[in-house]
C-alpha cells in the first residue's frame, strides 16, 4: 500500500468515526428528550389544565348572563303598514294608540276612548288592547302596559309621553 492509499483510508476512517459519533450523540439526546417526555406524561394529572378551566368558566358565566337577557320587540317586524300606506291623506297616528277622550260615568267608573289602527275602542281599566293592558285611567291620562313596559297617553295635544 502506498502513501496515497494509506492517506485516503485514514481520511475515510476518520470521516466514518465522526459520522458514527455524531449519530450516536443525536440518538443520545433524542433518548433523553423521550425519557423526559415520558416522565412528564406519567406525572401529569388528567383534566388539570388550569388555564383551560379558567377560560371555560369565564365563557360559561358570560353565556349564563346572556341567557338571562330578555329580548322584547316593541313592534312586529312583519307589519308592513309602516312601509306601505293605503289610502289618501293617511294619519301618522295610524299604528299608535292615542286617547281621543275620557268619560267619567255617574257610577264612578272611568272609560277611555282610544283610537288604534283607524278603529275606535271604548276601554275600561283592565281591558286588553293592542297586545297590552289598560292599568289605569285618570281624568287626563291613560296608563298602558305592554311587554313589561309602561306607557302613558295624555288627553290633549301631547298625546303620548313615554
What CATH number is attached to the domain comprising 127? 2.30.30.830
Residue 131 makes CB contacts below 8 A (sequence gap 6+) with 146
Mean of pLDDT values over 144-157: 81
pTM, rounded to two decimals: 0.41
- Tens-digit pLDDT profile for residues 95-120: 577 788 888 877 778 888 888 877 88
**One domain, residues 64 and 22:** yes
What are the angstrom distances between the C-alpha of 27 and each of 17, 23, 152? 15, 6, 85
Same domain assignment for residues 95 and 153: yes
Domain assignment of residue 124, yes or no: yes
The answer to whether residue 129 sits within a structural domain is: yes
Q: pLDDT tens for residues 23-49?
A: 999 999 999 999 999 998 888 777 667
User: Residue 4's Cα: distance from chain center in Å?
Assistant: 83
Q: Per the domain annotation, does 75 fall within a domain?
A: no
Structural domain includes residue 77? no
Domain around 126: 87-161
Structural domains counted in the chain: 2
Amino acid at each position: 500500500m502506498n502513501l496515497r492509499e494509506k492517506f485516503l483510508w485514514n481520511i475515510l476512517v476518520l470521516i466514518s468515526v465522526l459520522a458514527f459519533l455524531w449519530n450516536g450523540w443525536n440518538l443520545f439526546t433524542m433518548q433523553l428528550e423521550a425519557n423526559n417526555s415520558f416522565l412528564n406524561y406519567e406525572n401529569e394529572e388528567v383534566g388539570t389544565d388550569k388555564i383551560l378551566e379558567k377560560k371555560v368558566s369565564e365563557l360559561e358565566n358570560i353565556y349564563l348572563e346572556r341567557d338571562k337577557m330578555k329580548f322584547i320587540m316593541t313592534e312586529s317586524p312583519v307589519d308592513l303598514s309602516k312601509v306601505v300606506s293605503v289610502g289618501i291623506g293617511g294619519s301618522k297616528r295610524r299604528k299608535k294608540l292615542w286617547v281621543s277622550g275620557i268619560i267619567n260615568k255617574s257610577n264612578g267608573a272611568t272609560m277611555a276612548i282610544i283610537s288604534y289602527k283607524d278603529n275606535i275602542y271604548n276601554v275600561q281599566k283592565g281591558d286588553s288592547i293592542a297586545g297590552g293592558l289598560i292599568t289605569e285611567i285618570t281624568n287626563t291620562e291613560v296608563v298602558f302596559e305592554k311587554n313589561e313596559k309602561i306607557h302613558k297617553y295624555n288627553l290633549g295635544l301631547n298625546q303620548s309621553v313615554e
